[in-house]
Amino acid sequence: MSDKQARIADKLAAEISGLLRGQSPQIQGATLADLAAIWLAGHVVVGNPDATAEMRREIFDLHCDAIWELVEHHYDRKRRGP
């Protein structure tokens, strides 16, 4: 991801987190799941449903890995200290 893309993503995340702020964890989770499903549905191997499913699973797994890294970066390290 380029620096420009990272800045755009950070800006969008700040805007979305503002919309989610104050909502219950269940509402936040359902919203994020819906957005992730929309995002994954956009990944298609035309004419090959099996390849589409495999690709979506791989993308989802990589995305989950990235989420865990961000949890560690933004939350766990702050709780542990330097």
Q: What is the pLDDT along the chain (82 residues), one digit of tens a residue?
A: 899 999 999 999 999 999 999 999 999 999 999 999 999 999 999 999 999 999 999 999 999 999 999 898 877 666 666 5
CB-based contacts of 45: which residues, under 8 Å, 6+ apart? 51, 52, 55
Residue 6 burial by Cβ neighbours in a 10 Å radius (0-12, 13-18, 19+): exposed
pTM of the model: 0.76
Give the model's pLDDT for residue 81.
60
Residue 80: predicted pLDDT: 63
| pLDDT for position 74 | 79
